[in-house]
């Protein structure tokens, strides 16, 4: 298969925060382009670290990474949309400031679409981030990311800590608005709820890739994704 | 892209600095307004407020540079700045440039406030004129007669002051970057102070050593300015009714600043882990 048909190619990726403990231990995998990838694994298995490395937020690692044919840098950042699991906007920003900021720097950002999201989410474009609730801040961050026509979306726990109704709404926004033919990697603990959404799955555990396959292969085994997850993770699932 | 980065950095700086500048403007207004009253107490209070707020503005600017850089590069906001499709060199240059501009503005504000208060207190009475005469006689006592000499001296000193402030900003950026990489991050925020102090100590030590080896001096005389390399430059300047400014440190610190900028960019590109 040609290089450009893979959204992500990772070879021998190693990452540790403290000496002697590898959070990612010689990890290698490929993710075909155009897939909706579920990034699964117990807490501390390296999901967030992997997403941070792919998005360019962590530079201190060894190994080789290719994103849509390029090593991580200015080119990949221009085509990768990353939603971290934390509030990253300046507290002085108003929603409209954040939209203008993204519009200035990302050529694939659609300002009209972003403003439509503002109305849809009932947000005040002139309200400052610091006066918003956590849920409102998450909506602003989500609308910024989903207003981009990126080639790769990296979403870190976008459904964590929200009620079921909001979860469904957020998932709809993601699925309705990610750019066609792009790749979407979404980390989550909600294995059961999202099984039907994914068409590819990457399970990390003990610093290794435990499963990297199309969801059809999981289904053809006659097991649910949750069953496969519990099997490969073993006891770690219980402490999760 | 660098223009856009600088634009947003300036806007962020304006948001952080607006309150203190507003306070300074109100204090200045109150000081001028107090001239309509004959109350010495009112004049004293408002003048003191101007001086204190102007001094606080400089401190707040430096604090804003330190905390702002740490937060926007290596804190939560780093998830935005580090994922922008821009070179790290552009990102750090824009932050350094904007920070230097805000430091310059605060210095200027402080200078204008101090001079303004001085003029305000000396123009309205006889003692004021006497103070000006005393300063002039003091300078003449050193053989510095020509007005152009100390005008040029003040101008060049001010430029060097701004230069020193901007290189200090780069020292701060380097110390912050160092305090965010393994294994230097173990000292936390305290590490910034330690690494900054060490950086200043080392650079200043080398500067003194270099001045002993090669003392490059700018001579400011009534006939013009010239650069010289001489151990007796200060004496020569005084004998000629001029003044002198050491330039060895300026040249050395320029080179060091470029080096620290490259090192900061390199460390950010290869060693940073956003928390």
- The string of pLDDT tens digits covering residues A158-184 is 887 677 777 888 888 888 887 778 999
pTM: 0.85
d(CA B110, CA B99): 16
Angle between the N-to-C axes of helices B40-69 and B2-34, in degrees from 0 to 180, rounded to the nearest 10:
170
Q: How far is A225 from chain B (nearest CA, A)?
A: 31
In chain A, what are the domain boundaries? 3-88+150-239
Going by pLDDT thresholds of 50, 70 and 90, the confidence category of residue A84 is: very high
d(CA A147, CA A177): 7
Does A21 reach chain B within 8 Å, measured CB to CB? no
User: How large is the C-alpha radius of gyration of chain B?
Assistant: 22
Q: Work out the end-to-end distance of chain A between its first and last CA atoms, rounded to an integer number of angstroms.
A: 37
For residue B79, the model assigns a pLDDT of 93
Structure tokens at B172: 């701060």
Residues from chain A contacting residue B87 (CB–CB below 8 Å): 74
d(CA B163, CA B157): 10
Nearest residue of chain A to residue B77 (CA atoms): A88
Task: Pick from B13, B84, B269 the residue to mutate for testing the A interface (most A CBs within 10 Å).
Answer: B84
- Pick from A61-70, A163-172, B57-66, B135-144: least confident: B135-144
User: What is the signed CA dihedral for B226, B227, B233, B237, rounded to 10 degrees?
Assistant: 20
d(CA A224, CA A218): 7
Distance of CA A208 to the CA centre of its chain: 18
Q: How many CB atoms lie within 10 A of CB A192?
A: 11
Going by pLDDT thresholds of 50, 70 and 90, the confidence category of residue A220 is: confident
Tokens 């947000």 found at: A123
DSSP annotation of A3: G
Structure tokens at A168: 């469904």
Q: How many CB atoms lie within 10 A of CB B215?
A: 18
d(CA A210, CA B72): 36
Q: Work out the end-to-end distance of chain B between its first and last CA atoms, rounded to an integer number of angstroms.
A: 26
Contact partners, residue A210, CB within 8 Å, separation at least 6: A41, A203, A204, A232, A233
Going by pLDDT thresholds of 50, 70 and 90, the confidence category of residue B86 is: very high
B156: pLDDT strictly greater than 50: yes
> Within 13 Å, how many C-alpha atoms sit on residue B128's CB side?
10
Long-range contacts of B241-244 (CB under 8 A, 24+ apart): B241/B143, B241/B144, B241/B145, B241/B146, B241/B149, B242/B144, B242/B149, B243/B144, B243/B149, B243/B150, B243/B153, B243/B219, B244/B217, B244/B218, B244/B219, B244/B220
For residue B262, the model assigns a pLDDT of 95
B233: pLDDT strictly greater than 80: no
Residues from chain B contacting residue A92 (CB–CB below 8 Å): 12, 15-16
Provide the CATH number for the domain formed by A3-88+150-239 in this structure: 3.40.50.300
> Within 13 Å, how many C-alpha atoms sit on residue A114's CB side?
24
The answer to whether B13 and B99 have CB atoms below 8 angstroms apart is yes
B149: pLDDT strictly greater than 90: no
In sequence order, which ranges of A121-158 are alpha helices (DSSP H)?
A: 134-146
For residue B127, the model assigns a pLDDT of 63
Residues from chain B contacting residue A89 (CB–CB below 8 Å): 77, 80
The answer to whether A25 and A207 have CB atoms below 8 angstroms apart is yes
Please tell me which of the candidates B83, B87, B268 has its beta carbon nearest to residue A55: B83
Edge-to-edge order in the sheet of strand B224-229: B224-229, B216-221, B243-246
Structure tokens at B224: 């013009």
Contact partners, residue A191, CB within 8 Å, separation at least 6: A38, A40, A225, A226, A229
Q: What Cα–Cα distance (Å) separates residue A31 from each residue in A81, A199, B80?
A: 16, 11, 25
- Pick from B31-35, B80-84, B253-257: least confident: B31-35
For residue B38, the model assigns a pLDDT of 67
pLDDT in tens, B94-113: 999 999 999 888 888 888 88
Question: Across residues B119-143, what is the average pLDDT?
Answer: 68
Reduced to 3 states (helix: H, G, I; strand: E, B; else coil), residue B188 is: coil
Beta strand A200-205 pairing with A208-214? antiparallel
In sequence order, which ranges of chain B are alpha helices (DSSP H)?
A: 2-34, 40-69, 78-81, 88-122, 126-141, 147-178, 189-213, 233-239, 248-271
d(CA A213, CA A203): 9
d(CA A235, CA A238): 6
Residues from chain B contacting residue A74 (CB–CB below 8 Å): 85-87
> What is the rounded average pLDDT for all residues in chain B?
83
Going by pLDDT thresholds of 50, 70 and 90, the confidence category of residue A238 is: very low
The answer to whether A207 and A46 have CB atoms below 8 angstroms apart is yes
Q: How far is B86 from chain A (nearest CA, A)?
A: 6
For residue B146, the model assigns a pLDDT of 66
Contact B77 A88 (CB under 8 A): yes
d(CA A58, CA A78): 17
Please tell me which of the candidates B84, B268, B274 has its beta carbon nearest to residue A52: B274
- Tell me the count of A-B CB pairs closer than 8 A: 68
- Pick from A81-90, A134-143, B144-153, B210-219: least confident: B144-153
For residue B142, the model assigns a pLDDT of 61
């Amino acid at each position: 298969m040609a290089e450009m048909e893979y959204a992500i190619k990772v070879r021998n990726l190693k990452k540790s925060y403290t000496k002697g403990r590898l959070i990612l231990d010689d990890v290698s995998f490929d993710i075909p382009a155009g897939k909706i990838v579920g990034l699964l694994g117990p807490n501390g298995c390296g999901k967030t670290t992997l997403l941070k490395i792919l998005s360019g937020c962590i530079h201190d690692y060894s190994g080789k990474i290719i994103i849509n044919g390029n090593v991580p840098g200015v080119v990949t950042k221009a085509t990768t949309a990353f939603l971290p699991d934390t509030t990253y906007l300046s507290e002085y920003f108003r929603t409209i400031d954040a939209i203008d900021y993204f519009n200035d720097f990302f050529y694939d950002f659609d300002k009209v679409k972003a403003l439509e999201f503002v109305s849809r989410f009932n947000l005040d474009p002139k309200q400052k981030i610091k006066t918003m609730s956590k849920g409102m801040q998450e909506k602003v961050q989500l609308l910024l990311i989903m207003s981009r026509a990126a080639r790769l979306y990296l979403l870190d726990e976008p459904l964590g800590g929200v009620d079921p109704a909001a979860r469904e709404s957020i998932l709809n926004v993601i699925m309705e608005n990610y750019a066609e033919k792009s790749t979407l990697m979404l980390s989550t603990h909600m294995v059961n709820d999202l099984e039907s959404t994914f068409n590819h799955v990457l399970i990390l555990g003990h610093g290794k890739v435990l499963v990297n396959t199309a969801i059809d292969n999981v289904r053809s085994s006659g097991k649910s994704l949750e069953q496969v997850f519990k099997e490969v993770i073993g006891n770690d699932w219980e402490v999760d | 892209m660098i223009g856009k980065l600088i634009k947003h950095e300036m806007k962020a700086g304006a948001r952080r600095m607006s309150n203190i500048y507003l306070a300074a403007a109100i204090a200045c207004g109150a000081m001028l307004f107090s001239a309509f009253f004959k109350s010495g107490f009112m004049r004293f209070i408002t003048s003191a407020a101007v001086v204190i707020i102007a001094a606080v503005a400089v401190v707040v600017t430096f604090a804003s540079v330190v905390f702002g850089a740490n937060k926007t590069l290596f804190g939560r906001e780093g998830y935005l700045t580090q994922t922008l499709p821009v070179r790290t060199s552009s990102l750090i240059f824009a932050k350094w440039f904007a920070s230097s501009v805000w430091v310059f503005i605060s210095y200027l504000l402080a200078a204008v406030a101090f001079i303004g208060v001085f003029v305000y207190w000396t123009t309205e009475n006889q003692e004021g004129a006497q103070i000006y005469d005393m300063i002039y006689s003091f300078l003449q006592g050193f053989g510095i007669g020509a007005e152009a000499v100390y005008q040029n001296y003040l101008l060049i000193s001010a430029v060097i002051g701004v230069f020193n402030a901007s290189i200090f900003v780069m020292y701060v950026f380097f110390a912050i970057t160092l305090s965010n990489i393994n294994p230097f991050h173990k000292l936390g925020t305290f590490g910034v102070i330690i690494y900054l102090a060490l950086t200043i100590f080392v650079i200043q030590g080398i500067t003194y050593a270099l001045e002993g080896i090669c003392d490059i001096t700018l001579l400011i005389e009534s006939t013009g300015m010239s650069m010289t390399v001489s151990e007796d430059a200060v004496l020569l300047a005084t004998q000629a009714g001029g003044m002198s400014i050491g330039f060895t440190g300026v040249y050395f610190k320029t080179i060091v600043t470029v080096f620290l900028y490259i090192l900061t960019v390199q460390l950010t590109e290869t060693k940073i882990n956003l928390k």
